[in-house]
A and B are shown apart, each in its own frame.
Chain A
Amino acid sequence: MKKKLKTSSEKCIGCEKCMMVCSKLYFKKEEPMLSAIRVQAGAAGNDAGFTLSVCDQCQRCVQECPVLALTVSKQGVVMLNKSLCINCLACVAACPSGVMRLHRDVLTPFKCIACDACVKECPADALEIVNEEI
Chain B
Amino acid sequence: MAAQAKDVQALKAKHTLLKEYAYTPRPVLRGYNMRTLYINVDTLEIREKPVTDEMRNKFVGGKGFDLKLLWDAVNENTRWDSPENEICIATGPIGGNTNYPGSGKSIVTTISPQTAIPIDCNVGGHFGPYLKFSGFDALEIQGKAGQDVIVFIDGNLSKIQLFTAPDEAVDSHILAHQLHEMFAANEREKQHVSVVSAGSGAEHSWIGCLNFSYWDKRRKAVRLKQAGRGGTGSVLRNKRIKALVVKYSGLTGKSNQPVDLETLQKTGLKLHREVIALDDKQCKMRSIGTAHLVEIMNDYDLLPVKNFRYGQHPEAVKLASWIWKDFFTQNMPDGCWFGCTMSCAHAVDDFELKTGPYKGQKVIVDGPEYETAAGCGSNPAIFDPRAVIEINFYCDTYGVDTISFGTMTAFIMDCYENGILNRERTGGLEITWGNWEATLEMLHQIGRGEGFGLIAGKGIQYMQEYFVKNFGADAQFLQDIGMQGKGLEQSEYMSKESLAQQGGYYLTNKGPQHDEAWLIFMDMVNNMIPTFEKKAEALHYFPMFRTWFGLQGLCKLPWNDVEPADNAKHDEPNKVPEHVDNYLAIYKAITGEELDRAGLIRQSERVYNFQRVFNIRMGKGLRANDIPPNRALGPVTEEEYESRAERYDKALKEKQNIDPAGKSTAEKLKLLLAYRQQQYEGLVDAVYKRRGWSRNGVPTVEHLKTIGMDLPEVLATVKKHL
Do the two chains belong together in a single complex? yes
Choice from A63, A68, A86, A89 contacting B251 with Cβ under 8 Å: A86
Beta-carbon contact of B268 and A89 below 8 Å: yes
Nearest Cβ on chain A to B129's Cβ, whole angstroms: 11
Nearest Cβ on chain B to A4's Cβ, whole angstroms: 23
B272 interfacial contact with A, CB 8 Å: yes
Beta-carbon contact of A66 and B265 below 8 Å: no
A102 interfacial contact with B, CB 8 Å: yes
Nearest Cβ on chain A to B676's Cβ, whole angstroms: 47
Nearest Cβ on chain B to A84's Cβ, whole angstroms: 8
* Closest B residue, CB atoms, query A96: B276
> Which residues of chain A from 84 to 109 have any CB-CB distance to chain B below 8 Å in the complex?
86-90, 92-94, 102, 104, 107
A64 interfacial contact with B, CB 8 Å: yes
Choice from A90, A104, A107 contacting B272 with Cβ under 8 Å: A90
* A93-B276, A107-B253 known; A88-B99 Cβ under 8 A: yes
Inter-chain CA distance A63–B265, complex, in Å, is 20
Beta-carbon contact of B254 and A107 below 8 Å: yes
Inter-chain CA distance A104–B628, complex, in Å, is 53
Beta-carbon contact of B253 and A93 below 8 Å: no
Beta-carbon contact of B253 and A63 below 8 Å: no
Nearest Cβ on chain A to B101's Cβ, whole angstroms: 9
Inter-chain CA distance A22–B273, complex, in Å, is 27
B644 interfacial contact with A, CB 8 Å: no
Beta-carbon contact of A93 and B331 below 8 Å: no
B98 interfacial contact with A, CB 8 Å: yes
Q: Name which of B14-22, B171-179, B335-343, B629-637 contacts chain A.
A: B335-343
> Which residues of chain A from 51 to 67 have any CB-CB distance to chain B below 8 Å in the complex?
63-67
Choice from A64, A68, A90, A94 contacting B217 with Cβ under 8 Å: A68
Which residues on A sit within 8 Å (CB–CB) of B262?
Answer: 104
Tally chain B residues at the interface, Cβ within 8 Å. 25
Which residues on B sit within 8 Å (CB–CB) of A66?
Answer: 217, 333, 335, 338-340
Beta-carbon contact of B254 and A88 below 8 Å: no
Q: Mark B262-294, 1 if CB is under 8 A from A, else 0.
A: 100100110011011000000000000000000
Inter-chain CA distance A79–B146, complex, in Å, is 52
* Closest A residue, CB atoms, query B214: A66
Choice from A88, A92, A93, A94 contacting B338 with Cβ under 8 Å: A88
Nearest Cβ on chain A to B75's Cβ, whole angstroms: 43
Inter-chain CA distance A89–B273, complex, in Å, is 10
The majority secondary structure among interface residues of chain B is loop
Q: Mark A33-70, 1 if CB is under 8 A from B, else 0.
A: 00000000000000000000000000000011111100
Inter-chain CA distance A66–B332, complex, in Å, is 8
Nearest Cβ on chain B to A50's Cβ, whole angstroms: 26
Which residues on B sit within 8 Å (CB–CB) of A94?
Answer: 272, 276, 341
Beta-carbon contact of A86 and B269 below 8 Å: no
Nearest Cβ on chain B to A109's Cβ, whole angstroms: 10
Q: Which of A86, A93, A107 has the most CB of B within 10 A?
A: A93
Choice from B217, B253, B275 contacting A88 with Cβ under 8 Å: B253
* Closest B residue, CB atoms, query A104: B262
Beta-carbon contact of A90 and B252 below 8 Å: no
Inter-chain CA distance A5–B331, complex, in Å, is 27
Choice from B217, B269, B272, B341 contacting A67 with Cβ under 8 Å: B217
* Closest B residue, CB atoms, query A92: B269
B218 interfacial contact with A, CB 8 Å: yes
Which residues on A sit within 8 Å (CB–CB) of B252?
Answer: 86-87, 107
* A104-B262, A107-B253 known; A89-B272 Cβ under 8 A: yes
Inter-chain CA distance A119–B302, complex, in Å, is 62
Inter-chain CA distance A112–B47, complex, in Å, is 50
Nearest Cβ on chain A to B273's Cβ, whole angstroms: 5
Nearest Cβ on chain A to B98's Cβ, whole angstroms: 4
Beta-carbon contact of A89 and B99 below 8 Å: yes
Nearest Cβ on chain A to B102's Cβ, whole angstroms: 12
B115 interfacial contact with A, CB 8 Å: no
Inter-chain CA distance A93–B278, complex, in Å, is 13
Beta-carbon contact of A63 and B333 below 8 Å: yes
Which residues on B sit within 8 Å (CB–CB) of A86?
Answer: 98, 251-253, 338-339
* Closest A residue, CB atoms, query B100: A88
Inter-chain CA distance A107–B99, complex, in Å, is 11
> Which residues of chain A from 62 to 83 have any CB-CB distance to chain B below 8 Å in the complex?
63-68
Choice from B191, B217, B254, B339 contacting A89 with Cβ under 8 Å: B339
Nearest Cβ on chain B to A93's Cβ, whole angstroms: 3
* Closest B residue, CB atoms, query A64: B333
* A64-B341, A67-B217 known; A87-B272 Cβ under 8 A: no
Inter-chain CA distance A88–B255, complex, in Å, is 12
Choice from B218, B261, B272 contacting A93 with Cβ under 8 Å: B272
Inter-chain CA distance A102–B261, complex, in Å, is 12
Which residues on A sit within 8 Å (CB–CB) of B265?
Answer: 89, 102
* A64-B333, A66-B338 known; A93-B98 Cβ under 8 A: no
Inter-chain CA distance A93–B99, complex, in Å, is 11
Which residues on A sit within 8 Å (CB–CB) of B217?
Answer: 66-68
Nearest Cβ on chain A to B178's Cβ, whole angstroms: 23
> Which residues of chain B from 346 to 360 have any CB-CB distance to chain A below 8 Å in the complex?
none
Inter-chain CA distance A36–B261, complex, in Å, is 21
Nearest Cβ on chain A to B339's Cβ, whole angstroms: 3
Q: Mark B311-345, 1 if CB is under 8 A from A, else 0.
A: 00000000000000000000101010011110000
* Closest A residue, CB atoms, query B274: A93
Beta-carbon contact of B269 and A87 below 8 Å: no
Nearest Cβ on chain A to B16's Cβ, whole angstroms: 36
Nearest Cβ on chain B to A51's Cβ, whole angstroms: 21
Inter-chain CA distance A86–B268, complex, in Å, is 14
Nearest Cβ on chain A to B705's Cβ, whole angstroms: 43
* Closest A residue, CB atoms, query B270: A93
Nearest Cβ on chain A to B218's Cβ, whole angstroms: 7
Inter-chain CA distance A68–B269, complex, in Å, is 19
* A67-B217, A87-B98, A104-B262 known; A93-B251 Cβ under 8 A: no
* A68-B217, A102-B265 known; A90-B339 Cβ under 8 A: yes
Beta-carbon contact of A93 and B333 below 8 Å: no
Nearest Cβ on chain B to A27's Cβ, whole angstroms: 18
Q: Mark B542-553, 1 if CB is under 8 A from A, else 0.
A: 000000000000
* Closest A residue, CB atoms, query B265: A89
Beta-carbon contact of A90 and B333 below 8 Å: yes
Nearest Cβ on chain A to B126's Cβ, whole angstroms: 11
Query: What are 5 pairs between A and B in contact, CB < 8 Å?
Result: A63-B331, A86-B253, A86-B338, A87-B253, A93-B273
Q: Which 5 A-B pairs have the closest CB atoms?
A: A87-B253, A88-B339, A93-B272, A88-B98, A66-B333
| Known interface pairs A66-B335, A89-B253, A93-B275; 18 further A-B residue pairs with C-beta atoms within 8 A, sorted by A's residue number | A63-B331, A63-B333, A64-B333, A65-B333, A67-B217, A68-B217, A86-B338, A87-B98, A88-B253, A88-B339, A89-B99, A89-B269, A90-B339, A92-B269, A93-B272, A93-B276, A102-B269, A107-B254
